Amino acid sequence: MNVVMPRAQRDLRREAILSIALQVFMEEGYAAASMSTIAARLGGSKGTLYNYFRSKAELFVAVIQSQCDIHQNQIFDIPDQDLRRFLSQLAGRFARLMMS
């Protein structure tokens, strides 16, 4: 029997995969990282990963896109304030991003 997971639960699982994959890619590098290692750390199977991503390359692209989205949101998440202060904080956040 094939059970369909609710969207919210599926999204949480996808985020967990991206988080674990980021750790593995950072620790081992893209070439050495494997779907088996990611699945083992996730506590699931390679089949689960392939239900979300067709290949390691597709998973890697998703990890990079997720990180870009996170950093973009952090850079531009500044409350209303005067322009000088906004630009100063924006420059600081951008510098921290470039150094990370």
Query: Tell me, what CATH number does 41's domain have?
Result: 1.10.357.10
Give 10-61 pLDDT, tens digit per residue.
Answer: 999 999 999 999 999 999 999 999 999 999 999 988 998 999 999 999 999 9
Answer whether residue 19 is part of any domain.
yes
Is residue 2 included in any domain, yes or no? no
Q: What is the pLDDT of residue 19?
A: 97
CB 77 within 8 A of CB 93: no
> Structurally, how many domains does the chain consist of?
1
Which amino acid does the sequence have at 72? Q
In a domain, 76, yes or no: yes
Residue ranges making up the domain that contains 21: 7-99
Give dist(CA 11, CA 41) in Å, integer: 18
Instruction: With respect to residue 53, please indicate whether it lies within any of the assigned structural domains.
Output: yes
Full-model pTM: 0.72
Cβ atoms 64, 72 nearer than 8 A: no
H/E run at residue 79: none
